[in-house]
Structure 1
Amino acid sequence: MPKILLFDALREATDEEMEINSKVLVIGEDVGHYGGSYKVTRGLHAKYGDLRVLDTPIAENSFTGMAIGAAMTGLRPIVEGMNMSFLLLAFNQISNNAGMLRYTSGGNFTIPIVIRGPGGVGRQLGAEHSQRLEAYFQAIPGLKIVACSTPYNAKGLLKAAIRDNNPVIFFEHVLLYNLQEDIPSEEYLLPLDKAEIVRYGKDVTILTYSRMRHHVIQAVDILVRQGYDPEIIDLISLKPLDIDTICTSIKKTHKVVIVEECMKTAGIGAELIAQINENAFDYLDHPVVRLSSQDIPTPYNGLLEKATVIHPQQIEQAVKDICSLVV
């Protein structure tokens, strides 16, 4: 199995799907000649030309709307946001068009579109480039939302998203593009609606996704050496949440820690707590613990930026605190 960087895994997925299906195309700023801001589309323009790797003006609402119209005609566009924060300019198109048209047309149209790009808190990118929009989009009916976290799941999930007949918002973390991993050389797809059990354990269920998966693993490596046995679940699918996998774990551990980079107020963690209370409340021996980012615009200052997000030491302490409960 060859080692591959996450951005190359995404490029391979896109290339493979474009090669087997002439209806797949890429639309976005600098995706063509430049190869994308993070080189996810590097080399694709030379291979497929202007009509299938289309450089656009800086007008997110226009090219996202164009891509949705293309999807209505049977094409399968992949929209790359140079930064996912910029797609707030296309919020109307994503919510009122991509999410609704299949329903408001009585099923006459499907919208097989993937909207993908980098997000999350980087390294001093400033407030407008450090947003986490997953909770913004989670409230929109008709969308599927996926957050990749490794080269392996990035490739398998993107291929599945391109083939899906529904609009998929595909989140990539700006600090994970250079993550390297062995992945299979043969083709594979991963389900868009399933969580991944990263580590089995019996003491506490840790729910996380995207970059925080790696912070959790760092914390758990230390906790295991100290005698704790946490279970780690990477949500992968943020909409719909894989509540069956989550509840199965809670029935075993009876304790939950949520670790997210999303904002605390009305974030992914808030929805998780609501669904856990609805589906697994009787199995809890302790209130759900939520570790989330501060409810402030991300500062540019490096030290202040670091203070706004969760780190492995905080995860380690939260697990120790919740496991100290005597029932």
Structure 2
Amino acid sequence: MDAFEVHRRLIEDYRTFSEGFVDVHDERIRARVEQEGARGAQWPAPWSSLNPSFASGGRVDDLVREGLLHQECSRIFRVKKASEDRGSVPITLHRHQSDAVRVARTGASYVLTTGTGSGKSLAYMVPIVDRVLREGSGQGVRAIVVYPMNALANSQREEMRKFLEFGYDGRPPVTFARYTGQETEDERRAILRNPPDILLTNYVMLELVLTRPDERRPLVEAAHGLRFLVLDELHTYRGRQGADVAMLVRRVRDACGAGQSLQCVHSTIPPPGPPHRHRHRPPPTGPDRRTPPDPHRRRQPRPRRRPAQHRLVTFVGLHDRLVRGATAPYTPSAGVISTMGAPIPRLNRSGCLRSPHQRSLPTR
């Protein structure tokens, strides 16, 4: 297929369609319309982009040999194409994915900020599967993964099928299930009767689970001592919706009796704009190393704060100020794994988060 020919024909068909019902009688206006049409004012220029190349973090086998992952992970996380395929080559992780595995092994919560299509899901699924393998499957719900849209939950379920079901003859080493309201009555009863190790849901359904008695009893009791709570695409929760989800997280923590052992993992995209660069003032000049002020020089305005970066900074404090409670003593356990040049926020003693772009920002 010739992409350029397809592009030319698409534009020509759209131009013929849009100009077919326009009849301009004024000669000057008609000439201008034809001129703008020939210039291509009706459609934008083609968008072209290159996929970023991430630093390699080693193969899963390497992490197994280091003792960071359970031995069964080398069999699970392989390239598989069919249900009978056991996989021949272990997958190679990106650097930020292997960093996430190392942070998760310490028991700390972390925020992963990286672009779309860079493997954010593996950055929390690999540690979750490793924890379930070490503690044993069938011990109840060990992890709850919350998605903002059902489409993301559906896509993640298919990816997990490739790793946990392909090559295991219907006996996955770690069980998982989607519970978003799309299930049939039989599927719903099966989940309530035998809760999985990993539950994929959305924030609306998680709220209903806490309020419906017939669902709260089996699922919440099965999730007692919850190990992982994941909020995927964290940047989508803002404003009133963000406040609702914050309260929901507190209720889930209390209902499941998670306590201090709960690991919160959040994935989000980096803030927009070019990578951060530190700004340095030029060195002083002149014989006495002092430069007299220029009366004609206008004072440069201070840069405006970046709303997206403010959200990222606030998200980093979720574990200490949201999950543990706003009145809990400050303990800097939330780590940040950043890629693509995104600035990493810093923590100060007062429990606020500092970023190169902002002053101290309270996390409440």
TM-score by length of 2: 0.33
TM-score, normalising length: structure 1: 0.35
Q: Which has the larger radius of gyration?
A: 2
* Higher strand residue share: 1
